[in-house]
């Protein structure tokens, strides 16, 4: 894996804005300031991680699905996965959006929108959110937030 750092990520163009050095990114990380880590495999962007003082946004890139996780930073060492968004594509066309919004108590609101048929579906439930908790990552060690969560896709 090849990791690069920048101040911001331009999602539509999959492009870094204001590239910074690893040492500058580490200083920002340690100060709790915003930066972005871009992780490539075989020259292809696989993950983009936006880190700020209040939350971490993780983007997973795939040819057929675009997945986004949003973690709230609750204190210096704990985070909670509060939202997950699945964007399903075919031939670069967005077909479906599936979203999950979690509370620490276990309440989850789910919505599914089919952009071809314009049908939507919503559900609410109480689930076990023990897997939504993570330790705040040490600089450069993003392994725990890059793992895909099992069992949250309750609408499919």
Residue 88 — pLDDT band, cuts 50, 70, 90?
confident
89-108 tens-digit pLDDT: 887 788 999 999 999 999 99
Residue 109 has a CB neighbour count (10 Å cut-off) of: 14
**pLDDT higher than threshold 60 for residue 155:** no
CB 111 within 8 A of CB 35: no
Q: What is the mean pLDDT of residues 108-116?
A: 93
Helix (H, G, I), strand (E, B) or coil at 149: coil
**pLDDT higher than threshold 90 for residue 156:** no
Could you give the angle at the alpha carbon of 111 between the alpha carbons of 45 and 149, nearest 5°? 45
CB 131 within 8 A of CB 147: no
CB 14 within 8 A of CB 45: yes
Q: What percent of the chain has pLDDT over 70?
A: 94
Q: How far is CA 151 from the centre of its chain?
A: 16
CB 130 within 8 A of CB 114: no
pTM beyond cutoff 0.85: yes
């Amino acid at each position: 894996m090849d990791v690069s750092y920048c101040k911001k990520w331009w999602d539509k163009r999959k492009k870094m804005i204001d590239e910074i050095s690893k040492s500058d990114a580490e200083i920002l990380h340690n100060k709790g300031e915003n930066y972005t880590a871009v992780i490539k495999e075989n020259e292809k962007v696989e993950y983009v991680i936006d880190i700020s003082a209040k939350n971490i946004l993780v983007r997973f890139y795939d040819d057929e699905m675009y997945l986004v996780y949003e973690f709230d930073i609750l204190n210096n060492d704990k985070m909670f996965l509060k939202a997950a968004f699945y964007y399903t594509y075919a031939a670069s066309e967005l077909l479906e959006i599936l979203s999950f919004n979690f509370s620490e108590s276990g309440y989850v609101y789910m919505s599914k929108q089919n952009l071809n048929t314009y049908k939507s579906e919503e559900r609410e439930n109480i689930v076990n959110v023990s897997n939504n908790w993570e330790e705040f990552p040490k600089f450069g060690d993003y392994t725990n937030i890059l793992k895909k969560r099992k069992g949250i896709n309750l609408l499919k």
